[in-house]
Amino acid sequence: MAKLLHPKATAVWLVDNTVMTFKQIGDFVGMHELEIQGIADGDVATGVKGFDPIANNQLTQEEITAAEGNPLHKLKLKVNSAAVGEEKRRGPRYTPLSKRQDRPASILWLVKFHPELSDGQVSKLVGTTKPTIQAIRERTHWNIANIQPIDPVALGLCKQSELDEAVQKANAKKAAEGAVMSDDERRKLVSTEQSLEMGTEPKIPSAIEGLESFTLGGVDDEEDKKEDILDADSLFNLPGDAGDDDED
């Protein structure tokens, strides 16, 4: 979305060079109409030089004329096709000087608690470079012994929503690739397609492979022993019993 350059200076120029209402000017530059009235009275923006929106390709004379002739007309910012998409910049975000010293601590926190994040995601979240991230991952950073992990959200380096979005994207990518992604990387998530391709036949764990025949053989031996004991009636025919039978 195109944005107005130097809104306060533009308001000064419009107050000095047009007869538009304070509300029209305020709506266009994003200021309250009382602030515009303060500019007209000399109480606000004292010493600010007017910024010509026509010369700087932000308004047309026709648009200003239409607004001057109709108090209800709302000014429309002229779209510069050459500047479309200019606000989308690549690379790490800008980090204020006062917070740059906190970046190593936030990088260590992200590496420790969100190892699924790529170097590129970490770079965008805290505004750093990949070599710095790699040095902290490998613990070769010159100050690694003194760095303590701190949440980048608490440090104001990124928003919680941005961190959550990055983590969700990283988890979705790993899930699609069938990579390990769980607490302490102890569970394996696979895609639906991969799970459907897996066979349904149960498999014997390798640790007990080859033991089934041994177990069956052991069962057979036990059964044979039981039969031998049941058929050995002669063991109970004691000599005394035999003598009693002869006497009868």
Residue 168 lies in a domain: yes
pLDDT at 79 over 50: yes
Mean pLDDT of the residues in the chain: 75
Confidence band (pLDDT; 50, 70, 90) for 97? low
Residue 234 lies in a domain: no
Q: Are residues 109 and 155 in the same domain?
A: yes
pLDDT at 58 over 80: yes
Confidence band (pLDDT; 50, 70, 90) for 94? low
Each residue's pLDDT tens digit, 100-130: 778 899 999 999 999 999 999 998 898 888 9
Question: Mind spelling out the 3-state secondary structure of the chain?
Answer: CCCCCCHHHHHHHHHHHCCCCHHHHHHHHCCCHHHHHHHHHCCCCCCCCCCCCCCCCCCCHHHHHHHHHCCCCCCCCCCCHHHCCCCCCCCCCCCCHHHHHHHHHHHHHHHHHCCCCCHHHHHHHHCCCHHHHHHHHCCCCCCHHHCCCCCHHHHCCCCHHHHHHHHHHHHHHHHHHCCECCHHHCCECCCHHHHHHCCCCCCCCHHHCCHHHHHHHHHHHHHHHHHHHHHCHHHHCCHHHHHHHHHC
Residue 184 lies in a domain: yes
Q: Are residues 51 and 102 in the same domain?
A: no
Residue 56 lies in a domain: yes
Q: Which domain holds residue 107?
A: 97-195
pLDDT at 193 over 70: no
pLDDT of the residue at 199: 47
Number of domains in the chain: 2
How many CB atoms within 10 Å of residue 104? 24
pLDDT of the residue at 24: 93
Q: Are residues 105 and 179 in the same domain?
A: yes
pLDDT at 138 over 60: yes
Lowest-confidence region among 29-43, 141-155, 216-230: 216-230
Residue 230 lies in a domain: no
The average pLDDT across 237-246 equals 52
pLDDT at 85 over 60: no
Residue 120 lies in a domain: yes
Q: Are residues 38 and 116 in the same domain?
A: no
Domain boundary among 27, 52, 83: 83
pLDDT at 151 over 70: yes
Q: Are residues 107 and 79 in the same domain?
A: no
pLDDT at 211 over 80: no
The average pLDDT across 210-233 equals 50
